Structure 1
C-alpha cells in the first residue's frame, strides 16, 4: 500500500497499542497531528514541550506501554531535554520525536541558520537510542528499533528525528507487523531457576516481597497479588513503588518508614524483589536495615535486563525476564504448595494500622497557618482507593509519604530523578490515559506547582477531575531547612523565599478552574469536596506554617540515609 511517512509512523505506533500523542504542532508535524486526530487518537497540545514529555511519561506509567512525545526543531527539542533526562532516570519508555531542518540546510557550511542546532548529538547521552530517518524507506526499521530499545532490558527513552523533506514522502509498504514479530515479548525465566525459586520460597520461614516502581508501570498488580497470597507474606514498598496493589493494602508497608516494614526486613530470611533496581532508597539491599540477618537471607530478583543482575548486591536466584511473564510462572509453580502465613503477619498488619491511625491523631492541629502534617491527613483521609494520587515537591512529599491516610492503587511521583514540577503534567497525562473517569489529586508544594502552572489551562480544556492541594509556605521549604541545619536559626537564607502576595487559588480561577483559599485544618476537606463538585479542575491554596515545614519534616534522618556516600 502507498502511504506518507507520517501515516506509516502512526501505523507502527498503533501496532504497539499507542493512541496518544503530546506536543506542540509545527510545520514538521501538522500532518501527523491532523491525521492522528482523524484516526481518533488523543492529541494533546500543552503549553511547554517539557510538560509534553512528562505527560507522555505518565501515560506510559498508566498503560504499561511506550508513549509518544513530539518536539519541534531547535527550541522545542531544547525545551524537551529535561523530560528526556527524567524519562531516562525514571526508566520510562517514551519515544521522543523531533523535527529538523532539511539535510541540505544542515550540511551546508553556513552561519546564522534559523532555529537550528544539531540535536542528535546533544540528546544521545540521555537516551537508549538516537537515530534519524534520513530516507523514507528507513521508517519501519528505525521506528521499530526505537520501540525495541525503549521496551527491552531496563525500559527507557529513545529519540528519533526526521528532516522536514522526509515527512511527506511516499512509501510502498506491506501491512505493519505485530510487536512479537520484531522484538522479544513476554520473556519468561528458565525452568531451572523457577524450580529453585520455588524450593527456596517453600523453605523460607520469614519471606518478604520487595515491590518497586516497575510493578506499577508494568500494570502487573493482579499477578503480584496472586503471588503474595501464595507466599502469605508482607509486601514491602520501595519509595518508588508506592502504589497499593488492590487486595494487599493492609499488609503493604513502606520500607524504612513503617516499624512493621523494618521488623519484617530485619527478620526476613528470603527477599523476592520485583520491579526494583535495589537502589539507594533501599540501601542497595545490603545496608542499614538489611545488615542484620544478611548471612541467612536468600535473594531472588525478577529483572528484565540480565546486565543488572548482581550489580548492587549478590543474587541467589536471578529470574531474568519480563515480570509480566515471570510472576505468572511463579504463581503457577507455587499453586500446589501455598505457604502457611508468616506468624507475625497479623501483628504487623495491626501495628502498621495503629501507626497510621496514631499519625492521623497526633498530627499537630489547630494552628493557622496549617501544620503541613495536618494538611496531608485532612487531604487524604477520604481519598478513594480507585483514585489517582500524584505527588510533587520537596518537604511536601516528605510529609506526604509519612502522613498520608490514603492507599490508592495508582500513585505517581518523580522518585528517582527528583525533578520538581512534574506533578501537574503527570496528573494531566494520567487523566488522559484514564479517560477522566477517576478522581485525581495532586498534593504539591507551592514552588514546584509554579514550574508548570500554565498546564492548569490544559487540565481545564480537557475537563479533568483533578484537585490540586497546594501547601503554600512562600519558600523553597526543603532548602530553608538546609540553611537552618547548616548555619543555625536566624541565618541569612539566600534565594529561598518569595512574595507572600501570590494567591494560587486566584491564579486557578484565571485559568477557568475552581479556586479556594484555606488556612484552617477543618476547612481543607470541605474545600476539596467543593472543588470536585464544581465539575472543574480545582486548586486549594492551603497556607502552611513555614517554620514547621522547614524544621519538622518527619523521618528526615531516614531520608538522609539514602545519600550515605560511600557507606553502602
Structure 2
C-alpha cells in the first residue's frame, strides 16, 4: 500500500475516522482515499479553524483527532490551534505537508512556500517528527499517538515531505492500541485501599470535577462514584458540563454559594480530571484556606509528574481515570455513604438562586441587557443539545445566569483563545454525527474571528444556532479602559461599525438569520432558528454599557490572576 493509505489505517486502529484541513498536493490522495473508506472529511476556510474543529472532536470522543495543514502557510495557520491544544490538554495529531527534504538541504535563497517547520512548532507540541523514509511510517505515527494520549494528553506534529507520502509499503495489518501503548492504567491496590479508608472516614467529602472528566467521556463512572459517596460535585472552570443524573448537586466553584460552603466545610476533596490550577486557587487559596488543617486530598491524575505540584496530596492515584474510578466504586459499593444533612440544603439553595437570577436579570431594555440575553437563550436550550461558549464578557455573564445544565459544554477555558466557538461548534457537531442540536452563545468580537466557517456549517447543514451578543465592541476590554482611566476615557481600538448586521451576513452564507432588539423576542427567534432546519445566526443587540460595566462575579474571576494566587 501507499504511505498515505497506511497513515489512514494506523489512525483507524485508534477509532479515528474524521479529518479536517484544506488539501494540498501532498494530501489530495489521502483525502480522496479517506472519503472512499467512509471517513468524514471536512475542509474549512482556515487551517486554524480546522485545528479547533479537530480539538472539539477529541473532546467529544475521548480519543485523538486529526488535522492537516498545507506546507508553508497552511502549516503556519495551525500554530494557534496547536498552542490551544497544548494548554487545553487535547490530543490532536497535526499533519504538515512539506517540500521534498532535499529542498531543506540546498544552499539556496528565494525558495517558494518553504520554511523549516518542525523546529518552529517543537515548543508547542508534545512530540515533533518528520517521516524521512517510508518504513518509518508505523513507528512515527504510533509514537505520535502514544505521546498524544499518554500522561497529560496534548498535541503532536508530524511532517510529510512530498517524496515520502506516495511511496509504497509492504506491511502487516495495523496493531490495536493496547499492543503499542499503555491503555486503561489502573492504580495500585494499596493506594486504592488508602483512598477508600479516607472516603469512609470523611463526614463532608466533595468531588472536584474538572475538564478531564468530560474530555475522557467518563461521566457515567464518575456519577457512580458520586452516588456511593453521596456527596456534592464541585465544577472547576473547565468542568462546566453537567454529568447526567448529578445536575441538582453540581455547583460551580467560586460562583455558587453552595459550592463555597461545601468547599469550606469539606474534610475530604477527591479531585478528578483537574490540574488544580488558578481557577480553583490551586486547591489551597481563597475558599480552601478555612478548614485546610482538617481536609484530606485524593487526586486522580494521569501524569505522575503533576502529583503534588500545586498543592500537597494525601493519596495520589496515578493512571487513567476511566479505569481508576471504577476501582473506587467497586471498593465502596458495599458501604455507600449516607448523604450529609447539608446536601439537601445546598441543592435547594442553588436552585433558589438560579430561579432568582432568572427573575431579577434586568428586562424590558432595548438594547437587551446581556444577563437577560443569557437567561432567555438558555431557557430554550434543547435538553439534549451541545452548548458552546465563546467571548469574554458574554461567557462571564453565562457563568452566572445560565438556566441550562447541558451534558456537553465546550469552550476554551484554559487558554482563553477567542474565536474558537464557531469551529468548536462545527467539530462537536461532526463528532456527534451532526444530529443533536448545538447552541453557540458568543460575543460579536469572538464570532467575527472565524465567521467564514458559517459557510462550512451551512454546507454540512449542521443543526447549529449561533446566539450572538452584539455590542459592536470588545466589551471586556472596554471595561478595562473604564476601570483603568475612568468613565469617559478614550477606548482606543475597541469599537467598530454599528451598521454590521450578522444576521444578514449569515443569510449571505445560506444560513437562517434573525435580528433581535427586545428580550421578549429572543426565545421565539431561537425557536424559529432551530425550526428552519438550517444553521442559523440570531443577532441580539445588547447594551454596551451593561456589557462592559456590569459583569457578574467579576471580582471572583479576577482572583484567578490576583496577587496571592501566583
Q: TM-score scaled by structure 1?
A: 0.99
Structure 1 match to 2:431 = 433
Q: Which of 502, 510, 516 is 1:504 aligned to? A: 502
Structure 2 match to 1:86 = 84
- 1:180 shift after superposition: 0.2
The SS at the match of 1:471 is: strand
Q: Which of 278, 281, 288 is 2:279 aligned to? A: 281
The SS at the match of 2:337 is: coil
CA contact (8 A) 2:205 2:267 kept: yes
CA contact (8 A) 2:370 2:543 kept: yes
Q: Which of 287, 295, 312 is 1:297 aligned to? A: 295
Structure 2: distance between partners of 1:464 and 1:331: 38
The SS at the match of 1:257 is: coil
Q: Which of 39, 44, 49 is 2:42 aligned to? A: 44
| 2:210 equivalent to 1:196 | no
CA contact (8 A) 2:127 2:157 kept: yes
Q: Map 1:51-130 onto structure 2 (within 5 A).
A: 51-130=49-128
Structure 2 match to 1:25 = 23
Structure 2: distance between partners of 1:485 and 1:257: 22
Structure 1: distance between partners of 2:336 and 2:363: 46
Structure 2: distance between partners of 1:16 and 1:506: 42
CA contact (8 A) 2:380 2:527 kept: no
Q: TM-score scaled by structure 2?
A: 1.00
Structure 2 match to 1:544 = 542
| 2:267 equivalent to 1:269 | yes
Structure 2 match to 1:211 = 209
Offset from partner CA, 1:205-228 (integer Å, 9 cap, x none): 000000000000000000000000
Q: Which of 385, 388, 408 is 2:386 aligned to? A: 388
Structure 2 match to 1:327 = 325
The SS at the match of 1:492 is: coil
- 1:382 shift after superposition: 2.3
Structure 2: distance between partners of 1:267 and 1:439: 39
Structure 2 match to 1:176 = 174
The SS at the match of 1:116 is: coil
Q: Map 1:301-320 onto structure 2 (within 5 A).
A: 301-320=299-318
Structure 1 match to 2:149 = 151
| 2:526 equivalent to 1:528 | yes
Structure 1 match to 2:559 = 561
The SS at the match of 2:169 is: strand
- 1:383 shift after superposition: 1.4
- 1:437 shift after superposition: 1.2
Structure 1: distance between partners of 2:503 and 2:398: 21
Paired residue total: 566
CA contact (8 A) 2:366 2:517 kept: yes
Q: Which of 448, 451, 457 is 2:449 aligned to? A: 451
- 1:162 shift after superposition: 1.0
The SS at the match of 1:200 is: helix
- 1:268 shift after superposition: 0.2
Structure 1: distance between partners of 2:93 and 2:63: 11
Structure 1 match to 2:516 = 518
Structure 2 match to 1:417 = 415
Offset from partner CA, 1:159-211 (integer Å, 9 cap, x none): 00010000010011011100000000000001001001111000000000000
Offset from partner CA, 1:450-475 (integer Å, 9 cap, x none): 00000000000000000000000000
Q: Which of 228, 231, 234 is 1:230 aligned to? A: 228
The SS at the match of 1:443 is: strand
- 1:567 shift after superposition: 3.8
- 1:384 shift after superposition: 2.9
Q: Which of 13, 16, 22 is 2:14 aligned to? A: 16
Offset from partner CA, 1:79-135 (integer Å, 9 cap, x none): 110000000000000000000000111110000000000000000000000000000
The SS at the match of 1:162 is: strand
Structure 1: distance between partners of 2:163 and 2:429: 35
- 1:566 shift after superposition: 4.8
Structure 2 match to 1:35 = 33
CA contact (8 A) 2:559 2:565 kept: no
Structure 2: distance between partners of 1:256 and 1:540: 31
Structure 1: distance between partners of 2:64 and 2:239: 19
The SS at the match of 1:171 is: coil
Structure 2: distance between partners of 1:362 and 1:461: 40
The SS at the match of 2:114 is: coil
